[in-house]
Amino acid sequence: MSKNNDVRAAQDADEVERANRSGKTPVVFVHGLWLLDTSWDRWAGFFEQHGYAAVTPGWPDDPATVTEAREEPGVFAGKSIGDVAAYQQSIIERLDRKPAIVGHSFGGLLVEILAGRGLAAATVAIDPAPSRGVLPLPLSALKASSAVLLNPANRRRAVALTFEQFRYGFANALSEEEARSLYDEFHVAGSGVPVFQAAFANFNPRTELQADNENPERGPMLVISGEHDHQVPWAIANATYKRQAKNAHNVTEIVEMPGRGHSLTIDSGWEVVAQTTLDFLQRFVK
The secondary structure of 76-126 as a DSSP string is: GTT--HHHHHHHHHHHHTTSSSPPEEEEETHHHHHHHHHHHTT--SEEEEE
Reference 198, options 188, 215, 210; nearest CA is: 210
Label residue 51 left, alpha or beta by phi (over 0 means left) and psi (-120 to 50 means alpha): left
Considering the chain, what percentage of its residues have pLDDT values greater than 90?
96
Per-residue pLDDT tens digits for 2-18: 556 778 889 999 999 99
Domain CATH code at residue 93: 3.40.50.1820
What pTM was estimated for this model as a whole? 0.96
Domains in the chain, number: 1
User: 128 — phi, psi (to 5°)?
Assistant: -75, 135
Is residue 177 over pLDDT 70?
Answer: yes
* pLDDT, averaged across the chain: 96
Tell me the Ramachandran region of residue 131: left when phi exceeds 0, alpha when psi lies from -120 to 50, beta otherwise: beta
**Which range marks the domain in which residue 24 is found?**
3-282
Name the residue with higher pLDDT: 6 or 154.
154
Q: What is the pLDDT of residue 276?
A: 98
pLDDT tens digits, one per residue of 103-124: 999 999 999 999 999 999 999 9
Ramachandran angles phi, psi of 8, nearest 5° = -60, -50
